[in-house]
Structure 1
Amino acid sequence: MITYEWLYALAGAAFALWALLSVRERRWGNAGFWALLAASFLLGSHVSDLMNGLLVLAMVAIAGGGGLTRSDPPTTTPQERQLLSERLGNRLFLPALVVPLIAVAGTLLYNYTPFSETGLFEARRETLILFGVGVVAALMSAIAWLRPPLLAPAEEGRRLLDSIGWAAILPQMLAALGAVFALAGVGEIIGSLAGDIIPRGSVFLTVVVFALGMALFTVIMGNAFAAFPVMAAAIGIPLLVQQYGGNPAVIGAVGMLAGFCGTLLTPMAANFNIVPAALLALKDQHGVIRQQIGTALPLLVCNIVIIYVGAFLLWN
């Protein structure tokens, strides 16, 4: 059986390779950071929580001490890239389409055909595992098609990760923070406050508070995955699902979309909103966020309507 652990091993191998390439260039801070991250993926399930915490603290020390620097490894020349761009045009994006195609089509074929009876993939992990398969397939197809230098994919991946730096793993860290908040009982406290404020029996107002809470907590924490455990424990499960009998699938899925509206509005989502501005050398550091406001707010309203209609009016 192919399990979630295989994805951790794949990611860990990639980070380990980037660490070795950084060692070759004597970028010791980068090498240490990516090596520690590789260790957390490769060994995290086999060591104690204390050891995993120490790995994280060591990474924080490297990043906080300015140990990460940008790299620019030579792969292809600017002239070669220009020629490829002119010759291939938008076809260069074809390998990227392989990833969602395999993830979506593979999941549907696996779940709705007799192939699911083989038990090849870990239960409820099929899409994520097939996403990893899609990444490998896209990489292999791009190499076979474009025939770059042998180390070019690894070097270009390292260049991109070094440009983003510590923000590349910010979603993972914030998602872990959300789990910590949930275990600390933050959700129950917010749920108690919401129960005192929201009039009993007001389903629509509860939906509004839930969706707004998802967006606001995402703005604060920078990640909807961090906000979801808190808001689900506070309002989503006890009020919308258990008390009012809403459709949990709609509440969970569209609630996450409401949180993503907050992602569009916050500098805390540095890897989405601040890093692109830096890479594109924009004069306005928050220029990406300003452009997204007009999408985020109407989309949040739409998500509120979808939750109310889909989880309650059509469900009941």
Structure 2
Amino acid sequence: MITYEWLYILAGVFFAIWSLLSLRNRLVGNAAFWGLLSASFLLGSHLSDLANGLLVLALVAIAGVGGLKRSDPATTGIEDRAKASRALGNKLFVPALIVPLTAVAGTLLYNYTPLSETGLFEPRRETLILFGVGVLIALVVAMVWLKPPLLAPAEEGRRLLDSIGWAAILPQMLAALGAVFALAGVGEIIGGVAADLIPDGSIFLTVIVFTLGMALFTMIMGNAFAAFPVMAAAIGIPLLVETYGGNPAVIGAVGMLAGFCGTLMTPMAANFNIVPAALLELKDQNAVIRQQIGTAIPLWLCNVAIIYFGAFILWN
């Protein structure tokens, strides 16, 4: 059976390659950072909580002292890229489209055909595993089709990662922080306050509080993955699902989207909002956020409506 652990191994191998390439270019801080991250993916499931915690602190220390530097590895030249762009045009997007196509089509094929009876993939992990398979297929297709230098994919991946820096792993860190908050009982505290303030039987108001809490908590934490465990424990599960009998799939999925509306409006989501401004060399570091607010607020209102009607009116 192909399990979720295989994806961790795949990611760990790529981070190990980037670490070695950084070391070859004498970028010691980069090599240490990506090497430790590789160890986290490859060995994290087998290390103690203390060891994993120390590993995370080491990553924070390297980033905190400015140990990560930008790299500019030589791969294909600008003239080669311009020539390929003129010759191939939009066909260059084919490798990128292979990834989602493999994930979606593969999931449907696996779940709705006799293939599901083979037990090839870990249950409920099919899409994520097939996403990883799609990445490998796209990589092979690009290498065979475009014939770049052998190390070009690894070097270009390193260039991108080094440009983003520590913010590349911010979602993972914040998701872990959200789990810590949930285990610490923050969700129960917020849920108790919300239960006292929201009138009994007011489903619509509860939906608003849940989605607003997701957006606001995401703005504070910087990522909806950190907000979800807290708000689900506070309002989503005890009130919307257990008390009012809402559809948990709709509440969970669209609740995350409500959180992402907060992501669009906060500088705390540095990897989404601040890094692009830096890479584009914009004078206003909040320029991306300013452009996204006009989309985020109407989208949040749509999420409220979808949860209310999809999880309650139409569900019941």
Query: Is TM > 0.5 for Structure 1 vs Structure 2?
Result: yes
Q: Does 1:75 align with 2:80?
A: no
CA distance in 2, matches of 1:120, 1:91: 32
Q: Does 1:139 align with 2:139?
A: yes
Q: Does 1:220 align with 2:220?
A: yes
Structure 1 counterpart SS, 2:315 = coil
Which residue pairs with 2:229 in the alignment?
229
Structure 2 counterpart SS, 1:154 = helix
**Counterpart residue identity of residue 110, structure 2:** Y
- Superposition pairs of residues 1-316 of structure 1, within 5 angstroms: 1-316=1-316
How far off its partner does 1:42 sit?
0.3
How far off its partner does 1:54 sit?
0.8
How far off its partner does 1:157 sit?
0.2
How far off its partner does 1:89 sit?
1.8
Deviations 1:47-103 (A, max 9, x none): 101111111111111110111000000001111111112222222111100010000
CA distance in 2, matches of 1:228, 1:254: 11
Structure 2 unpaired stretches of 5+ = none
CA distance in 2, matches of 1:56, 1:93: 36
**Counterpart residue identity of residue 180, structure 2:** V
CA distance in 1, matches of 2:93, 2:275: 22
CA distance in 1, matches of 2:266, 2:110: 37
Aligned residues: 316
CA distance in 1, matches of 2:35, 2:254: 37
Instruction: Output the TM-score relative to the length of structure 2.
Output: 0.99
**Counterpart residue identity of residue 100, structure 2:** P
CA distance in 2, matches of 1:144, 1:277: 34
**Counterpart residue identity of residue 106, structure 2:** G
Structure 2 counterpart SS, 1:277 = helix
Q: CA RMSD in A?
A: 0.6
When structure 1 is superposed on structure 2, of 89-98 and 236-245 the one drifting more is 89-98
When structure 1 is superposed on structure 2, of 267-276 and 177-186 the one drifting more is 267-276
How far off its partner does 1:162 sit?
0.3
CA distance in 1, matches of 2:87, 2:296: 37
Structure 2 counterpart SS, 1:274 = helix
Structure 1 unpaired stretches of 5+ = none
Structure 2 counterpart SS, 1:285 = coil
How far off its partner does 1:267 sit?
0.9
Structure 1 counterpart SS, 2:66 = coil
Where has structure 1 moved over 3 Å in runs of 4 or more?
none
Q: Percent identity?
A: 80
How far off its partner does 1:280 sit?
0.7
Deviations 1:9-42 (A, max 9, x none): 0000000000000011010000000000000000
CA distance in 1, matches of 2:203, 2:294: 27
How far off its partner does 1:279 sit?
0.5
